[in-house]
Structure 1
């Protein structure tokens, strides 16, 4: 396709008769350059005015002058946009133009009047649908041929009046140009649709990325700051009792949580920068920093996972370990990473609390964030108390990511 120009989504597609390609830096539709159309129309009118005779103020000369004006108007009306001229009115106008052109051929003493019929026939193919255009062009040919035949007489040479039968031939060029124009408009419409779809996709990607960043910020700030706040509140409460040893212990835990928060912030930065973290090593480091060494079990054939899967599993582990520390302090924690042929499974389990649970409120977004992460990868997540088996009473979280 020689003409493909994407049109911004906030602009409407051009109408069929508009001057497509008039803007700077664009190329016109082949065969329908508006400037060339104007030049041809004005040239035919000028040639007709200068050569068609007789022209006068009475009798035959007046009739010829009136027909020149009518033919010129019919020819110049080609530049009217299609959406401003109803199809029925266009058919009437072109039919009258054909009749006027044939009448001019019959009354004038110059063959120049034939140009009006010839050019108008080409526009018939461009302006009307194919069936109407062929019928009207055939009528134009028969009418022009008949006028020449009657004017010259049966004893004259055959060539001139047969030449009149070719007056409607340009309709084929007009039909070809109309088909090409429609193909160009279809290409423009397709480009507009593609651009709108690309914009919608880009907006969806931005919103998805915002959601991911929001979850990462929640994981780092909400959990870490909540834990630090609880330890500092405990320290404030213990100051009144005078138990400095417990105050130091609470202060030390708060200090440890600050260090852990910094480490989690580093993980978040890695994730946002699309840096791939080693899954097993990072899980082991997370468990060790939370006081649960050697709590990781890996089963199955270990394989390389996509970066988005690694980030998802690490965030789920981080969420589950933080929740275990908050709601089940002192309880044993175990993490199992299983590689199966069909999926990757991460399970985190914690025993009930062995120490008093400090009051505190979470954001309520932890489980929601985990489910959203897994759903984006087409996986499933379950979380709740085990009601049977050897781990009955344990809180467990299991994420299954398909291969």
Structure 2
């Protein structure tokens, strides 16, 4: 199928050929051959040929059409030259197009008979129209190419943004997995280790027949189960991003572990983000669990200090003089606390207490910036 422009060009070609056949006179063998060649070359200007072949074809067409002007006494032979010169401007680069047009003008000035020689010079002028069409076509193509490049650049940019979003989402998923892993560790690792230790103790006491100590061990295991359930509820709240009251939760945590009136709050409490509250509670939970495993029965003190530059949570426990049998832990507790504090941009210190009331014990201090 032809485009509208191509259809119009073919109609013009057919019209010129019909006009030439109808008007060029006299029709003699030489004239008829040149007329047929002119029609052939005019029709061939629509073919997609290489630049060199197109140049040779149009030049031959100009020669045949100018020859037709020279041997005819009347008619519209000059239309062939006009259209061929215009095609040269549209199809050829400037140097070759000017060569075709110059040939048409110079030979046309010599070939015209009944018309003035100046008319022959005009035979090459349509090259300017063709060159204008070529420039317009090239400008349009340049605009289309630029639009294509911009669309391609936009597509690549969109793909880059999509890849970055996917990477960010993957990072968020990994971070969430790490957070869930820490929460599961906090709830299960220590609680199950403590329950297992008490059950092993009860099993060992069966042979001694010491029912009081067996009841005490099973009661302790039951208490650990209740505490684990409560910690599981805290974990569910944390995973659902529910905001827990910090002071009330710390108080409940201490009471459930057997330490009443062990919380001291100083400073003016401000509104803390839910993430800060959740991680502070997890740090306190980890530190209290470690204190219960390594220093059972020792005094525990939790200090919550609100400062202008942030909040400080300090958990201290005293020492125990009797030897303690500690069940093996997962080794992830302190690592989990450090990860939580790092996520909040804070610092944490954990180590033995070397002076003061709790000398010989253990202290964990977490500092979270505002």
Query: TM-score category by the smaller chain?
Result: 0.7 to 0.9
> How far off its partner does 1:39 sit?
4.0
Q: Which has the larger radius of gyration?
A: 2
> How far off its partner does 1:359 sit?
3.4
Separation (CA, whole Å) in 2 of partners of 1:261 and 1:240:
29
1:163 aligns with 2:163: no
Quote the residue 1:275 is aligned against: 242
What SS does the aligned partner of 1:330 have? coil
> How far off its partner does 1:382 sit?
1.4
1:251 aligns with 2:218: yes
Separation (CA, whole Å) in 2 of partners of 1:96 and 1:341:
84
Separation (CA, whole Å) in 1 of partners of 2:210 and 2:264:
40
**Unaligned runs of at least 5 residues, structure 2:** 21-32, 66-79, 110-116
Query: CA 1:389 to 1:174, structure 2 compared with 1: closer, same or farther past 3 Å?
Result: same
What SS does the aligned partner of 1:352 have? coil
Separation (CA, whole Å) in 1 of partners of 2:82 and 2:300:
103
> How far off its partner does 1:392 sit?
3.2
What SS does the aligned partner of 2:363 have? strand
Query: CA 1:245 to 1:179, structure 2 compared with 1: closer, same or farther past 3 Å?
Result: same
Separation (CA, whole Å) in 2 of partners of 1:357 and 1:44:
103
Quote the residue 2:62 is aligned against: 106
Quote the residue 1:72 is aligned against: 47
Separation (CA, whole Å) in 2 of partners of 1:386 and 1:117:
98
Query: CA 1:359 to 1:97, structure 2 compared with 1: closer, same or farther past 3 Å?
Result: farther
What SS does the aligned partner of 1:313 have? helix
What SS does the aligned partner of 1:73 have? coil
Query: CA 1:165 to 1:338, structure 2 compared with 1: closer, same or farther past 3 Å?
Result: same
Q: Determine which structure has greater relative contact order: mean sequence separation of CA pairs < 8 Å that are 6+ residues apart, divided by chain length.
A: 1
Quote the residue 1:224 is aligned against: 191
What SS does the aligned partner of 2:329 have? coil
Contact kept, 8 Å, 1:378 with 1:401, in 2: the verdict is yes
Q: How does 1:1-400 map to 2 (within 5 A)?
A: 39=3, 43=7, 72-74=47-49, 95-96=51-52, 99=55, 103=59, 106=62, 109=80, 136=93, 138-139=94-95, 142=98, 145-146=101-102, 149-150=105-106, 152-153=108-109, 155-156=118-119, 160-170=126-136, 171-354=138-321, 356-388=323-355, 391-400=358-367
Larger helix proportion of the pair:
2
Separation (CA, whole Å) in 2 of partners of 1:315 and 1:115:
86
Contact kept, 8 Å, 1:44 with 1:116, in 2: the verdict is no
Query: CA 1:178 to 1:149, structure 2 compared with 1: closer, same or farther past 3 Å?
Result: farther
**Unaligned runs of at least 5 residues, structure 1:** 1-34, 75-92, 122-135
Query: CA 1:400 to 1:119, structure 2 compared with 1: closer, same or farther past 3 Å?
Result: farther
Contact kept, 8 Å, 1:374 with 1:401, in 2: the verdict is yes
Separation (CA, whole Å) in 1 of partners of 2:178 and 2:312:
24
Contact kept, 8 Å, 2:186 with 2:286, in 1: the verdict is yes
Q: Deviations over 1:179-233 (max 9, x none)?
A: 2221111111110100010011111111111111111111111111111001100
Q: CA RMSD in A?
A: 3.3
Separation (CA, whole Å) in 2 of partners of 1:384 and 1:97:
91
Contact kept, 8 Å, 2:268 with 2:306, in 1: the verdict is yes
Quote the residue 2:69 is aligned against: none
Q: Deviations over 1:54-87 (max 9, x none)?
A: 9xxx98967975896685334xxxxxxxxxxxxx
User: TM-score scaled to structure 2, two decimals?
Assistant: 0.77
User: TM-score scaled to structure 1, two decimals?
Assistant: 0.72
Separation (CA, whole Å) in 1 of partners of 2:209 and 2:302:
39
Separation (CA, whole Å) in 2 of partners of 1:194 and 1:61:
63
Q: Deviations over 1:349-374 (max 9, x none)?
A: 11113554233110011111111111
